[in-house]
Structure 1
Amino acid sequence: MLELKTPREIDAMRVTGAFIAELLGDLAERAQVGVNLLDLELRARKLIEQRGAVSCYWDYAPSFGRGPFRNVICLSVNDAVLHGLPHDYVLRDGDLLSMDIAVSIDGWVADSARSVIIGTADPDDRHLIDATERALTAGIAAARAGNRLGDISAAIGTVATAAGYPINTEFGGHGLGRTMHEDPHVPNQGRAGRGLRLRPGLTLALEPWFARGTDKIVYDPDGWTIRSADGSRTAHSEHTIAITDDGPRILTVLG
């Protein structure tokens, strides 16, 4: 069921989104060669606790996971792209790290992700991350009242295709607000002019993610971490947005 938010409720989600933007910025600065993923997890826990926020991931138990998720952030390295479990891994020069987090403050959720390169950047990795960011920008631009959900998906998919990346539609964006996952599902590929008509008050997490060489995925034995099936590198970008009468409003930015 869709729940349209009032302007005041969107403002409340914006408070959560600003905190998430600050947290991801903090972790991006700390994600250096020699840093353990577990240290980043502990830093995220500390910041969440200090803010009085609530992790949406802790005890998260969807149908595809193996047991409840017992971390507050997803940290996915290189060919891992989604739901990466923080574990005892020391970041190396040239690693590509994707960080994805959702929290709730005063009952309102926001969700965001960003990918960063550790140390020396491979130009192909930079191109991959850039493609997810450009696809996210295109998807946000299409998120206007009166448009269709397919317009967002088509805009994201057009960028991916032009950049030469295949598109997986099993996991994509989603509605959110009082909980982390609400209707509708927002695939990263679609047909313009089709699907749900976008209305003011609709809040969405848009999250283009691509792998260099495949649209197929595999799961780690942990039942959570999703990787590219061919071992190629991956990247993931995400913002929470609101559809408003004045155009799309990005909620997971600073300021």
Structure 2
Amino acid sequence: MVELKTPEQIAKMRQAGLVVAAMHRACAEAAVPGASTKDLDRVAAKVLADHGAKPNFLGYGGFPGNICTSVNDVVVHGIPSEDDVLRSGDLLSIDAGAVIDGWHGDAAITVLVGEGHSDEVVELSRVTERSMWAGLAAMRKGNRLVDISRAVESYVRRQPRPSSGAYGIVEEYGGHGIGSAMHMDPHVLNYVERRRGRGPKLVPGMCLAIEPMLTLGTPRTHVLSDDWTVKTDDGSWSSHWEHSIALTEEGPLVLTAPDGGKAMLGELGITTAPDPLG
């Protein structure tokens, strides 16, 4: 079952999405060499409190943080820690979420900490982000779920290969429906799996979180003994980008982008829906 939202519910999700955007701005500014990932979690908690929002990560399945902080070879679900101190040259993914009146927002960014990043690491983040936008651009009436997966994978496969030979598209984790809960049907793959078929038709009222995760090596991962932290099997670095998007009668609206996705989707020839918050 795919939950379809009313315009009023999408407006609530837009409020939550803007809180997530504010969390990302504040955490990215605080992600400097010498800061701990627990410091960033405290920054995120303050933003939530300042906006009267609730965290949707804290306590989810027992998760102990307000955000996920995944450094270098950690793909997703890194737990904020006082002992995890950032260094110049680190690659940090920050996954954040917020709830407003029971409606959820969820997004992730990758931050280049300090200086000294190789061109390959910078390109990894860029390719991951742009593949996300390719997936978001496929959120159009008449398309099917597989069109999002195909857009993400196709963008990645068209890029010049890194020295490792190819970008690894992580398969165990992907996007999802979002709305009255953080994780809902349908599951959104970042690659095309033929046996799954085309998936549901994309219709107004549908809201999805689209989130590619790429590595500079193998796509294979494992979970650490904390039952949360996901690392690459070969130690290669990873990038994670995510936005939540709503499909309305007037077009798509990127709920967690400050401008609703107007600039980036505009580059791809997509006109976004009017922002319900003005």
Q: For 1:247 and 1:39, how far apart are their aligned partners in 2?
A: 38
Structure 1 segment 49-60 matched on structure 2, within 5 A: 49-60=49-60
Report the equivalent of 1:184: 186
Amino acid at match of 2:168: P
User: Is the 2:19–2:98 Cα contact (8 Å) retained in structure 1?
Assistant: no
Q: For 1:19 and 1:199, how far apart are their aligned partners in 2?
A: 26
Report the equivalent of 2:124: 128
Q: For 1:58 and 1:114, how far apart are their aligned partners in 2?
A: 18
Amino acid at match of 1:5: K
CA deviation after TM superposition for structure 1 residue 243, in Å = 1.1
Q: For 2:247 and 2:58, how far apart are their aligned partners in 1?
A: 28
CA deviation after TM superposition for structure 1 residue 191, in Å = 6.2
Q: For 1:93 and 1:190, how far apart are their aligned partners in 2?
A: 36
Secondary structure of the equivalent of 1:150?
helix
User: Is the 1:75–1:83 Cα contact (8 Å) retained in structure 2?
Assistant: yes
Amino acid at match of 1:114: I
Report the equivalent of 2:240: 236
For 1:173-193, what per-residue CA distance to the aligned partner results, in whole angstroms no more than 9, with x for missing partners?
000101101100001001698
User: Is the 1:144–1:244 Cα contact (8 Å) retained in structure 2?
Assistant: no
Structure 1 segment 1-255 matched on structure 2, within 5 A: 1-61=1-61, 68-87=62-81, 88-120=83-115, 121-163=117-159, 164-190=166-192, 194-255=198-259
Q: Which runs of 4 or more aligned residues in structure 1 lie more than 4 Å from their structure 2 counterparts after TM superposition?
A: none
When normalised by structure 1's length, the TM-score is 0.94
Q: For 1:156 and 1:57, how far apart are their aligned partners in 2?
A: 25
When normalised by structure 2's length, the TM-score is 0.87
For 1:126-149, what per-residue CA distance to the aligned partner results, in whole angstroms no more than 9, with x for missing partners?
100001111011001111011000
User: Is the 2:169–2:214 Cα contact (8 Å) retained in structure 1?
Assistant: yes
Q: For 1:185 and 1:49, how far apart are their aligned partners in 2?
A: 30
User: Is the 2:94–2:108 Cα contact (8 Å) retained in structure 1?
Assistant: yes
Q: For 2:184 and 2:121, how far apart are their aligned partners in 1?
A: 32
Q: For 2:193 and 2:71, how far apart are their aligned partners in 1?
A: 31
User: Is the 1:149–1:194 Cα contact (8 Å) retained in structure 2?
Assistant: yes
Gaps of 5+ in 2: 160-165, 260-278
Q: For 1:18 and 1:73, how far apart are their aligned partners in 2?
A: 15
**% identity of equivalent residues:** 45
Secondary structure of the equivalent of 2:21?
helix
User: Is the 1:160–1:166 Cα contact (8 Å) retained in structure 2?
Assistant: no
Aligned residues: 249
Q: For 2:23 and 2:124, how far apart are their aligned partners in 1?
A: 23
CA root-mean-square deviation: 1.4
Gaps of 5+ in 1: 62-67
More divergent stretch after superposition (187-196 vs 164-173) = 187-196
